[in-house]
Every structure is written in structure tokens, then in C-alpha cells.
Amino acid sequence: QAGLSTEQVASARIVISALVLLAGVALLRPSLLRVRPGEWRVLVAYGLFAVAGVQLFYFISASRVPVGVAILLEFTSPVLIAFWVRFVRGVRLPRPMWAGIALAMAGLAMVARVTEGLRLDTLGLLAGLGAAVCSAVYFLLGEHGVSTRHPLGMVTWGMVFGAVAMCAVAPPWTFPREALTASASFGPWHPPVYVLLVAVALISTVLAYLAGITALRYLPASVASVLGLCEPLVATALAWAMLGEALAVVQLVGAAVLLTGATIVQLQSGRTTSGTPAEPLPDAVPER
């Protein structure tokens, strides 16, 4: 709302994050930047889908539907992963997990108001689902990548390749200077736009990724992932308090139903059914 397009905001966020991570890791842990020849394909795909795709689709969605709805749509990624594990990998899943999937889909339908003629913006909803698909790719590629690489090295290279992709979509050097230096309205504050962009990159991307990695060193993945499901509720509350966005009662109920279903899916990810191990699902949702 401050004169930059959604593509430009996503590009600025990823480029700043990539520069910070690359400089920090090169200075403190340069060994994490070493890449074996066979790893480049995974790292490039990770950057294109898990970083650029997630951020771009999310920002497009958030610009057309309430922020809380955009995040909730992205949080359907555990459901998509469950379908991938069952029908592509052929792993049988526990019945409670399917109940969780059904709950999540019902909650999504309530949030999207599908019974009321899809009152929310269609492109915004599709972009949110695109973010969910890219988020699922984030987990599946990340699950494969961190088996041989340190998570911080994986995230750093992902940001670098994501930044290259976003520079092709919205080159930072083409941003209008007047838009970057203009004052933005952010609740009661009116900081320059470039300050908000740096804050978004450092706080909600770099620090969020590092906090998530640190948490997984001390908490079981299932516990950390359930705690991460609080993000949509926090985002919705902040959007209401700072941006004046509000959800209807049916959408609030749908949000609770969706989060309940997603929680069941995550908690059941390590259970077994009919003697067949249920393959663990990747457990955390990518940070924005």
C-alpha cells in the first residue's frame, strides 16, 4: 500500500535476506557454503519453489485477501504433503490423519466462504493455494536436502537462488526511489518504506528461519511444528490491530477448524497403521 507492487516487496525481502545470510555464513561458518556437484539441482529447486515461490505467491495472496486468510491458505501444506506421502510414496496413513485432513479442508471452505459464491478474491485464493504447494515442496526438498547438508547452509543457498529468481521478476534496481523513501502507514507509525522492507527481511525471514532451526535443536519436531501453527492466529490478530482487517464469525470458526485439522495431521505423522509405518511428514511450516 506504499507504492511498491507485491512482486517488488517479495523481491526486496528475499534479496535483503540472501545478502544478510550469505555475508553472515561466509564470515562465521564458511564451510556451510561448500556444495558437492550433485547438490546443485536440489538447491536451485529449493530456491525457486521453497523461497521465491512461497514468498511471491504469499504476497500476491495477501494483497488481495486478508493477511490471516493468506497465511491460513499456505498452512494447508501439511495436508498436501499427506496426500503426497499416501498416493505418491504409497505409505499408508493412520485414520485420524485423514480425519485431520477432512477437518482442515472443511475449515478452508469456511474461511473461503465457498457456500457464499466465493466472496473472497479468486486470484488471491489461487495464489494462497500456490503458496501452499510451494510450501509443500519446501518440506519435501528440505527433508531431502538436510539429510546431507546443514540446515543453515540449505537456507542460505535457497535464499541466494530465490533472490536471483526474484531479480528476474522484479529487479531491485528498478524500484522507484520516491516509493522507497516515502512514509508508510503501519498502525500508529509512519516509517520510511525502506525501513519496513529491511525489518520484514531481518525479522520475519532471517531471524524467523534461525529461530526455527534453533528450536528444532531443543524441541521434538512434532512439538515445534504445533507451536508454529499459532502463526496464523497471531498474524490475523496483528492484521486486525495494525491494518484494520477483520474476519467474519464463520471465517474465525473456520480458522479454528483448519488449525485443529492441521494439528491432528502433524501429531499423527509418526504413528503406524495396519503394521505399515507412516512416513514422518516434514514438521515445520516455512517462515515468512
Q: Are the CB atoms for 101 and 82 separated by under 8 Å?
A: yes
Residue 220 in this model has a pLDDT that exceeds 50: no
Tally of structural domains, the chain: 1
For residue 192, what are the contacts with CB-CB under 8 A and spacing of at least 6? Answer: 180, 181, 182, 183, 184
Burial of 70 per CB tally in 10 Å (0-12, 13-18, 19+): buried
Residue at 283 is within a domain:
no
Question: Mean pLDDT across the stretch 29-48?
Answer: 93
Report the alpha-carbon distance of residue 85 to residue 82 in Å, rounded: 5
Lowest mean per-residue pLDDT among 109-123, 197-211, 238-252: 109-123
Residue at 181 is within a domain:
no
The whole-chain average pLDDT of the chain stands at 80
126-156 core/surface letters (b: 16 or more CB in 10 A; e: else): ebbbbbbbbbbbbbbbbeebbeebbbbbbbb
Instruction: Give tens-digit pLDDT for 249-264.
Output: 887 888 888 888 888 8
Q: Are the CB atoms for 261 and 103 separated by under 8 Å?
A: yes
Residue at 235 is within a domain:
yes
Predicted local confidence at residue 93, as pLDDT: 76
Residue at 202 is within a domain:
yes
Which domain covers residue 93, as residue numbers? Answer: 6-171+192-270
pTM for the structure as a whole: 0.78
Residue at 18 is within a domain:
yes
Residue at 285 is within a domain:
no
Question: Mean pLDDT across the stretch 218-230?
Answer: 56
Residue at 245 is within a domain:
yes
Q: Are the CB atoms for 253 and 103 separated by under 8 Å?
A: no
Question: Mean pLDDT across the stretch 215-228?
Answer: 55
Residue at 114 is within a domain:
yes
Report the alpha-carbon distance of residue 28 to residue 31 in Å, rounded: 9
In angstroms, the Cα distances linking 177 to 173, 195, 200 are 9, 13, 19
| 115-119, 136-140, 201-205 — most confident range | 201-205
